């Protein structure tokens, strides 16, 4: 049986941790968890433990929450005597000596089909870029950004109305069959890692609020993909009657209207002209309000046909080389 240290800070890892604590315990035993320090959360900014820490404490596991990965922290990892470390959405840069500390090294679950979408926002960017599938890749961590050799992947389809929220749930579940296949082979010394095709790599970056801008001269399909990919954060917005209105879900209709002009409504949403086709906004939210089906939103806040909405350039989300941040190993 493998003694496994888990490093992660995001609830996306909870399904795989539950599996490791249950059926997966026959092949791997979680002996400790490293996660981010407790942070302020919500409007009250109350210091709160993340879901990974809560999961670990409920099972009596040691929890380590370093602000930085120092030599002392590496010593803590070494003292655990782990066979392998498994990383998913940890949020710390890992140095090579830390990566190499466990007997079998450090593996990472990356939420894309590598070599596509290396970097900080693979789930959102895959949807925003119009992909019809994504997945989880099990890779060895190396010093270059998400460039390590890959042992296996689990593919996940992206449906036309999937947002980042739905895909995150699908990817969280996809980690379980991936680990069920690969951990027994790792324990037996039979897991093979294959180098990525580095020439085919694409890169995404950490998202910011300004990524929610929309350019209505772009095709409707491109705008709908971006809206769905960037929900729930940073979320795309459009200014209506002087207020920023969030769009929580969108699709398209094969019709025409001037770009940025409200073309009316149907029984599902608000119709806006674009460079190609109509964008149909299916869920809308006013500042301080709830995200509502567009039909319900429009009953309380109608938008006149012919209203012209402002456009702004779409910030690029994908590049063929890393965006300007440190090209180092990240968990």
Which tokens sit at 308? 């012209």
Mark whether 124 and 183 lie in a shared domain. Answer: yes
Number of structural domains in the chain: 2
Report residue 93's pLDDT band, with 50, 70 and 90 as the boundaries.
Answer: confident
- The span from the CA of 78 to the CA of 331, in Å, is 18
Query: pLDDT band at residue 55, thresholds of 50, 70 and 90?
Result: very high
Radius of gyration, alpha carbons of the chain: 22
Q: What confidence tens digit (pLDDT) does each residue in 122-170 have?
A: 999 999 999 999 999 999 999 889 999 999 999 999 999 999 999 999 9
222 is a domain residue: yes
In a domain, 84, yes or no: yes
Q: Is residue 255 part of a domain?
A: yes
Cis peptide before 265 (omega within 30 of 0): no
At 325, the pLDDT band (50, 70, 90 cuts) reads low
pLDDT at 313 over 50: yes
Choose among 155, 152, 202, 199: nearest CA to 180. Answer: 152
**Residue 101 pLDDT exceeds 60:** yes
Phi, psi of 212 (to 5 degrees): -85, 5
Do 32 and 80 have their domain in common? Answer: yes
Total count of residues recorded for the chain: 331
Give the residue from 146, 173, 203 where a domain finishes: 203
Which backbone phi and psi does 199 adopt, to 5 degrees? -70, -20
Residue-averaged pLDDT of the chain: 95
Strand partners, 281: 250, 270
Q: What is the pLDDT of residue 327?
A: 40
Query: Which residues lie across from 205 on neighbouring strands?
Result: none
53 and 158 belong to one structural domain: yes
What integer is the mean pLDDT of 1-22?
96
Q: Residue 195: left (phi > 0), alpha (psi -120 to 50), or beta?
A: beta
pLDDT tens by residue, 163-205: 999 999 999 999 999 999 999 999 999 999 999 999 999 999 9
For residues 280 and 270, the answer to whether their CB atoms sit within 8 Å is yes
* Residues 127 and 234 occupy one common structural domain: no
pLDDT at 146: 95
Contact between 152 and 177 under an 8 Å Cβ cutoff? The reply is no
pLDDT, position 328: 39
> Under a CB-based contact definition with an 8 Å cutoff, are residues 96 and 105 in contact?
no
State the Cα–Cα distance between residues 111 and 16, nearest whole angstrom.
Answer: 13
**How many beta carbons lie within 10 A of that of residue 57, not counting itself?**
13
Whether residue 46 is predicted with pLDDT greater than 90 in this model: the reply is no
Specify whether the backbone of 148 is left (phi greater than 0), alpha (psi in -120 to 50) or beta: beta
pLDDT in tens, 222-272: 999 999 999 999 999 999 989 999 999 999 999 999 999 999 999 999 999
pLDDT of 331: 47
Which domain covers residue 228, as residue numbers?
214-300
Is residue 89 located within the same domain as residue 50? yes
- What CATH number has the domain bearing residue 163? 3.40.50.170
Phi–psi pair at 136, nearest 5 degrees: -120, 135
Q: Is the pLDDT of residue 326 over 50?
A: no
Q: Could you tell me the pTM of the whole model? A: 0.93
The CA distance from 227 to 37, in Å, is 31
Residue 50 located in a structural domain:
yes
Is residue 200 left, alpha or beta, with left meaning phi > 0 and alpha meaning psi from -120 to 50?
alpha
pLDDT at 329 over 50: no
Domain-ending residue, one of 180, 203, 226: 203
CA distance 273 to 263: 6
Sign for the CA dihedral angle at 9, 15, 18, 19 comes to negative
Burial class (CB in 10 A: 0-12, 13-18, 19+), 302: exposed
CATH number of the domain within which 275 lies:
3.10.25.10
């Amino acid at each position: 049986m493998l003694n496994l240290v888990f490093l992660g800070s995001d609830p996306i890892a909870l399904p795989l941790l539950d599996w490791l604590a249950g059926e997966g315990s026959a092949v791997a035993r979680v002996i400790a968890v490293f996660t981010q320090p407790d942070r302020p959360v919500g409007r009250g900014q109350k210091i709160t433990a993340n879901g990974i820490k809560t999961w670990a404490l409920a099972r009596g596991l040691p929890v380590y929450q370093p602000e930085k990965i120092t030599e002392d922290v590496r010593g803590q990892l070494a003292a655990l005597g782990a066979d392998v470390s498994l990383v998913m959405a940890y949020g710390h840069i890992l140095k090579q000596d830390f990566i190499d500390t466990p007997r079998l090294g450090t593996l990472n679950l990356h939420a894309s089909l590598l070599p596509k979408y290396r970097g900080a926002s693979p789930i959102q960017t895959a949807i925003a870029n119009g992909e019809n599938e994504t997945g989880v890749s099990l890779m060895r961590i190396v010093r270059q950004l998400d460039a390590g050799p890959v042992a296996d992947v689990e593919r996940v389809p992206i449906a036309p109305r999937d947002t980042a929220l739905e895909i995150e749930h699908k990817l969280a579940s996809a980690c379980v069959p991936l680990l069920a296949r690969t951990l027994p082979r790792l324990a037996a010394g039979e897991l093979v890692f294959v180098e990525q095709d580095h020439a085919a790599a694409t890169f995404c970056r950490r998202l910011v609020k300004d990524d929610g801008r929309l350019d209505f001269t772009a095709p409707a399909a491109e705008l709908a993909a971006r809206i769905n990919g960037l929900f729930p954060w940073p979320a795309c917005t459009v200014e209506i009657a002087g207020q920023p209105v969030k769009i929580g879900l969108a699709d398209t209709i094969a019709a025409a209207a001037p770009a940025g002009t409200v073309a009316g409504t149907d029984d599902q949403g608000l119709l806006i002209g674009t460079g190609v086709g109509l964008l149909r906004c299916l869920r809308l939210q006013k500042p301080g309000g709830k995200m509502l089906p567009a039909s319900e939103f429009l009953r309380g806040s109608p938008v006149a046909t012919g209203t012209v909405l402002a456009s702004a350039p779409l910030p690029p989300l994908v590049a063929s080389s890393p965006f300007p941040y440190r090209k180092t190993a990240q968990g």
